[in-house]
Structure 1
Amino acid sequence: MAGHAESEAKIVEKEGKPYALFYGMSSYTAQEHHGGVRSYRASEGREVYLPFRGAVAACLQEILGGLRSTCAYVGATNLEELPKRAIFIRVRRQINPVYNHLESPHGS
């Protein structure tokens, strides 16, 4: 739910558009919130500007709509039936590139 109003993210304006500063728990920013980066540690997490998404309610409605469609596609009348009506495949990745296209506040 990062980037939504309820996330407590710092909202900044860039080129006239609002963005939320999103950072992972091993990032420099997160470590600064908890006493700073210790001499024996390194900041490893990412920090990126996410487009501000407003209230989370609209996003939750989209997720619920997707779940309703999924149940309709496989013939499940509720979420409890979903595993009985569909085959789930575990997909594993070593790298998650989902934030690669976003700008980082520290240039990394």
Structure 2
Amino acid sequence: MIGGLFAGHDQSGGEIIEKDGRKYKLFYGMSSDTAMNKHHGSVAEYRASEGKTITIPYRGDVNNTVQDILGGIRSACTYTGASKLKELSKRTTFIRVTQQTNDMYVPYEV
């Protein structure tokens, strides 16, 4: 779910809102009440809405975030001795970590 990673940037959808002198953008998934009301007029009786509508701090141009991600990947390759991205999976052991709840956006709930 990469939408949350890119939320709040100039290139992402959502309205810019100003609160207490700070800028925010609305962020919602396409199965949320907000999306269904905006794009389909309402939530169909046979559907259940999923997700939340939250405000995300405004983050400017997405290029800075992409550069941070690429820097992290380059750093991981350096730590593992991988000279190419293709080698990264051969030089590491990836461990899947799961979480029952997603608390990442709790402070920003609308």
Common fold by TM > 0.5: yes
Q: Which residue in the other structure is 1:56 paired with?
A: 62
2:10 aligned partner, one-letter code? A
Unaligned runs of 5+ in 2: 1-5
2:63 aligned partner, one-letter code? A
Counterpart Cα distance in 1 of 2:12 and 2:80: 33
Give the superposed CA RMSD: 1.2
Within a 5 Å distance, the mapping from 1:25-104 to structure 2 comes to 25-32=30-37, 33-104=39-110
- Which of 31-40 and 47-56 deviates more? 31-40
1:4 alignment partner, one of 4, 9, 18? 9
1:76 aligned partner, one-letter code? A
Fraction of identical pairs, as percent: 54
Counterpart Cα distance in 2 of 1:17 and 1:35: 30
- Return the offset for 1:96: 1.4
1:24 alignment partner, one of 29, 34, 50? 29
- Return the offset for 1:39: 2.8
Whose helix fraction is larger, Structure 1's or Structure 2's?
2
What secondary structure sits across from 2:49 in the alignment?
Answer: coil
- Which of 86-95 and 12-21 deviates more? 86-95
- Return the offset for 1:77: 0.6
Misfit runs of 4+, over 3 Å: none
Alignment size in residue pairs: 104
Please, what TM-score do these two structures have when normalized by structure 2? 0.87
2:52 aligned partner, one-letter code? R
